[in-house]
Structure formats: structure tokens, C-alpha cells
Structure 1
Amino acid sequence: MRDISINIVNVPVGPGSQSEGDMVLDYMKMPSEMSTYDMPSFPEESELERCPQAMGILADIQLMLAQINDNGQGSVLTVTGLPDADLNLLNQILGEGEVSVLIDGEHPVRIQETVMAGIWRLRSFDKQGNVLSEAIEVAEIPECVREHAFATTVNLAERIAGLPEGLLNAPSVLVEIAETSAQYKQAPDMASHVINLSLLPFSPEDHYSLTTTTGTGCVTILSRGYGNCRITSTQVDGLWRVQYYNSTDHLILDTLEIVAIPAVACAAPEDLADSAIRLEEIRDALM
């Protein structure tokens, strides 16, 4: 079967602002073009006949899409133990889309959006890298991303009190983060609060203090839907580091966003409606 694992590493984000425009992204190579939808290549009729479970799962996904488009309710379908032939066929039909996710931890989870937005492939692993479970989830973003994004948190007030002297804007930004994070904890559905670091004079010491003070969470998201974007959770409730890169992997926009999940990572309602149409077209062509 094709390996759909996500080859990314959850590491602390480094500095990056307008004063450091020559800094390059050196931890992975991102694609230089936006992904576009292509109708998947269809298998031979004989292969379809050998994979009745895969065809049944496609029908289940169609119902899951109808449900979320009707009432916003996401759902998960376990495919652990599915025969390799059926799993290969599903991978061929569903393909790989714009968003990839890594959830670090004792049992890492790798998530890949399919070519149809809002349909996600999930795989969890043990410490030795063996697959523990596989699933397909239809949702704006898989629920496990929300559950693990801020699984570990730090005492931000204590860390702010211990900041070194001589910093430029990091202390005031951290105070703003602390106040807004407290609001987020009271109202998790609040509108996104964005701090544009690229517009602020930040020294390397400011960036280092900001990163070490807020910590690095266990969720890393890569999105190609709006350019090359890396989104990393922190250890402060609701706080994400959202960074955009150009085609040569130079950081062009560095922001902090306080919200449940940044919108750039989520499938929009219109995307989910479109995915239902696309999947129906694919199933019609296969029958």
C-alpha cells in the first residue's frame, strides 16, 4: 500500500520577522505550488470486484458527508484491519490533499487530508512505529487535533515574571497573549485574535524569549491551501504560531493566533459541500 504518513517533525519554531527576511525554512522542503483538485485515476473493473469493502466504505463516507452538511456533525469510520487490496484502492481514490497533521506523543497520530476537503485519513502508531489503528474522519478538522492541541500547558504569568531585562516587544506581546488566552478559556468559540509579529521590531532575544515562554505544543499542521503555511500549537491555551513561506521557503509572514483552530487548517462548509458532490461523481464513475 502507498505510505501516506507525514514526514514532519514537531520542533520549536525559530525566530523570523521582517528584520530576518533572509532566514530560510531548513527543517523540511515545502511544495512550491498550490495543490489543485484532479479527478483520481480509476482502477480496473476487475480490481473493483475484488474490493467490495472499499466500495462500501465510499458509500459510508458519502453518508457521513451528507450528515455533516445537514447538521454539522462529524463522524469517524474505523478501517483498521481492512484487507490491503481494499486499503490500497481507498488510498488511490481518496489521494492526498492540502493539509497534513502530526500529533506528537506516546502514540503519535499522522493525519492526511484527502483530495476531497474535510475527508481525513488518520493513522496512530506505537513507539516502534507500528500502525495501531487507521480511520477515516469527515470533519472540518479531526477531533483529536482539538483534543491534543493544548494537552500540556505552562504557567504563563510565572514565566512572564521571569523574563530577562533588555527585551523590546516580547514582554508586551506576552501580556497581550495572557489576557486574550484567559478570554479564550472563558469563551473557546471566540473570534480569532491575531498578533502580526512581522510588523513589530523583534530582536533575536525577543523571539527566543517568546518561543521559550509560550512553549511548543504537540500539534503541527502543514497547509498548502493558502500558500505554504506551518501552524504549531503552543503550551498556552488557544495560542498557535502561524507562519507563511514563499516558494523559496523564506518566511514572509509570522503571526500568533489565539483561537480553537486556525481557519487556514479547517475545511470550510462550502468545501464539505463540494466534497460530497465530488465523491458522488467518483462513485457514479466507478459503478
Structure 2
Amino acid sequence: MNAGFWTALEGAAQPINVFAIGEESLNASNGSLTAAGALAKLAALDSAELAKSCPNAIELLSMVAAAIASQKADAPTQLFRLGNLNDLERKLIADVLGEGEVAGGVALPDGSLMQIRESVLAGIWRVRLETDANHEYLEVGTIPEIVKRAAADLTAADFEIGQAPEGAMNVLPVLAELRERALAWRSGVRSQIINFTLLPMSPVDMSFLQETIGNGPIQLVSRGYGTCRVLSTGIRNVWSVQFFNAMDAIILDTLEVGGVPSVAVAADEDFEDSAERLQEIIEAYFK
């Protein structure tokens, strides 16, 4: 088997790169800001001075805390624009939210890229246009809406299965099963998984499979327990989900038919925990 559904083929289009949002914090740092790091920074600052200097940021954090406390996994996301914040307030928001486990991007039809990063408070996301830092907002929900829209609107509903090349083994029945499942899938139905780690597929099979269904506009990387890369394919409801070990070798290689894979999304229990933690930060440092 040729491990790695998205192992680059000669001349094949590459998945888009993940870009870190990368904004300076109140005390500049080269590494990602964790929850502990954010609290340590805040503890060293004067809360009264912050409240005086950053009223819009503190008000925004209070609104976000209320929003995530009421958020449900099946509800629409809630957006909060950052356009009215000054530089200091933006840096304060960056310190409080930090950088969480999931990051990625959505390639738009005009060639631009929407950057996505989850905060250390799961279910609170920072989203911005790569070429315009002023086009930035916070979004509360399972996954930013731009991901769901791109998965639905920038992929094909169906695909044709051509003649298998010489040397193919199992790719035609896999494609037929994949096409049937993708066309039949509906929201609320459990995702279905094709596991290439267990399925005997030749390099010719994998090459033809990749060429047939193509690349999609979304790339997400989750760095929770190990690294997981989630790529949308060119076919609606079909995702490549790959898990890597510490040596960056693929240990689980799958195609998943369904909505945005669960490894990249927040759940109801995440909202509850994040609401509690954010409210504690507000009470401790800004009251």
C-alpha cells in the first residue's frame, strides 16, 4: 500500500498551506500562547489600567463569554467584529484567547485565503482574511461558518469514474462506494469512514483515486493528541483525515464521508468549559 492518500503526486496540485494568524501579544513571544501563558501575562498587568485603556476589548470579551455560555453545537455561530478595537485592545484579546489546537485556512475562489485559528478556549475562533488584517472577527461555534460554506459551495456534488489505469487493484469499487455514500449522506447522519491503513491499495490505485476526486478548498490541522490533518476533497461531503506520529509518519489514513470531521470541531461540553474559564478570567483580571 502507498501510505498517505494525500502523498503528493508528481504534477499534482498541493493542498493549501496552513498559515498561523500570528499577532503580537502584550509581551511579545516567539511561541504559541497557551492558557497558562495568557493568565501569567495578565497577572503581571495592572487590571485598573487595562480596564481604562481597553474598554472595548473587555466589553467584547464579556459578550463572547455570554455567547459561548448559550451556544449549542447545532446552533448557528455567533460573530464579533474586531474593527472597533485599537492596537492595544487587539493585543489584549490575543493574550486572553491564545492559540488552541486547531488551525487552518479556506482558499476562496478569488485566490485569497481565510485564516482560521481556534483559541485556547475551545469553540472560540479567530478568523481573518490573509491579505487584510482589518477583516478579522471572533466566531463562537463548533467551526467557523466559512468552513461549512466552502465545503458545500466550493466542491462538486458528484463525480465521474473513469477507466482504471493498468496496474489498478481495488480503486474502482472504492470509488463506487465513495460516490454512493457521498450522494446519500445528509446532515445528522453518522459519518462513514474508509480506512486505507487496512485496505490493500496499490500506488496506482491511490494515484487514480486522488486524481478522480481532487483537492478541496479547506485544510485544517489539529495538534491535540498527536497531529491530525483534515483536508476537504473536491467532492462534497468527502474529507481526507490523516493522523501522524511524532516522526511525522502517517499512522492512520482515511477518507471520511460526512460533515466537518469531529476531530476539528468543538462540542457542547467544550462550550460549557470555555464559558466558565473565560468568565473566571474576566472576573479575576478585569473587575
Mark yes or no: TM-score above 0.5: yes
Determine if contact 2:73/2:266 at 8 Å carries over to the other structure.
no
In 2: Cα distance, 1:195 partner to 1:70 partner: 25
Task: Kindly provide the CA deviation profile for residues 31-83 of structure 1, in whole angstroms up to 9, marking residues without a partner as x.
Answer: xxxx9753623133323421111100111101111221598442111112421
Determine if contact 1:54/1:87 at 8 Å carries over to the other structure.
yes
Q: Which runs of 4+ in 1 moved over 4 A?
A: 154-157
Pairwise CA distance, 1:156: 4.9
Match of residue 101, structure 1, among 104, 110, 135: 104
Pairwise CA distance, 1:233: 0.1
Residue 112 of structure 1 corresponds to which residue in structure 2?
Answer: 117
In 2: Cα distance, 1:197 partner to 1:175 partner: 15
Structure 2 spans left out of the alignment, 5+ residues:
10-16, 19-32
Instruction: Give the % identical residues.
Output: 36
Q: Secondary structure at the match of 2:85?
A: coil
Change (3 A) 1:137 1:199: same
Determine if contact 1:67/1:73 at 8 Å carries over to the other structure.
no
Residue 6 of structure 2 corresponds to which residue in structure 1?
Answer: 13
Determine if contact 2:170/2:200 at 8 Å carries over to the other structure.
yes
CA RMSD of aligned residues (A): 2.3
Residue 215 of structure 1 corresponds to which residue in structure 2?
Answer: 214
Residue 22 of structure 1 corresponds to which residue in structure 2?
Answer: none
Q: Secondary structure at the match of 1:217?
A: strand
In 2: Cα distance, 1:149 partner to 1:70 partner: 18
Change (3 A) 1:157 1:78: closer
Residue 193 of structure 1 corresponds to which residue in structure 2?
Answer: 192
In 1: Cα distance, 2:8 partner to 2:192 partner: 21
Task: Kindly provide the CA deviation profile for residues 8-50 of structure 1, in whole angstroms up to 9, marking residues without a partner as x.
Answer: xxxx92179xxxxxxxxxx88xxxxxx9753623133323421
Determine if contact 2:73/2:268 at 8 Å carries over to the other structure.
no
Residue 235 of structure 1 corresponds to which residue in structure 2?
Answer: 234
- Give the TM-score taking structure 1 as reference length: 0.82
In 2: Cα distance, 1:269 partner to 1:155 partner: 30
In 2: Cα distance, 1:176 partner to 1:15 partner: 24
Residue 257 of structure 1 corresponds to which residue in structure 2?
Answer: 256
Residue 25 of structure 2 corresponds to which residue in structure 1?
Answer: none
How many residues were matched structurally? Answer: 254
Q: Report the residue type matching 1:88 in the other structure.
A: K
In 2: Cα distance, 1:249 partner to 1:255 partner: 16
Deviation larger for 113-122 or 100-109: 100-109
Pairwise CA distance, 1:167: 0.7
Q: Report the residue type matching 2:233 in the other structure.
A: T
Determine if contact 1:64/1:74 at 8 Å carries over to the other structure.
no
Residue 62 of structure 1 corresponds to which residue in structure 2?
Answer: 65
In 1: Cα distance, 2:176 partner to 2:170 partner: 10
Residue 146 of structure 1 corresponds to which residue in structure 2?
Answer: 148
In 2: Cα distance, 1:271 partner to 1:39 partner: 20
Residue 44 of structure 1 corresponds to which residue in structure 2?
Answer: 46
- Give the TM-score taking structure 2 as reference length: 0.82
Structure 1 spans left out of the alignment, 5+ residues:
1-11, 17-26, 29-34
Determine if contact 2:129/2:135 at 8 Å carries over to the other structure.
yes
In 2: Cα distance, 1:205 partner to 1:73 partner: 42
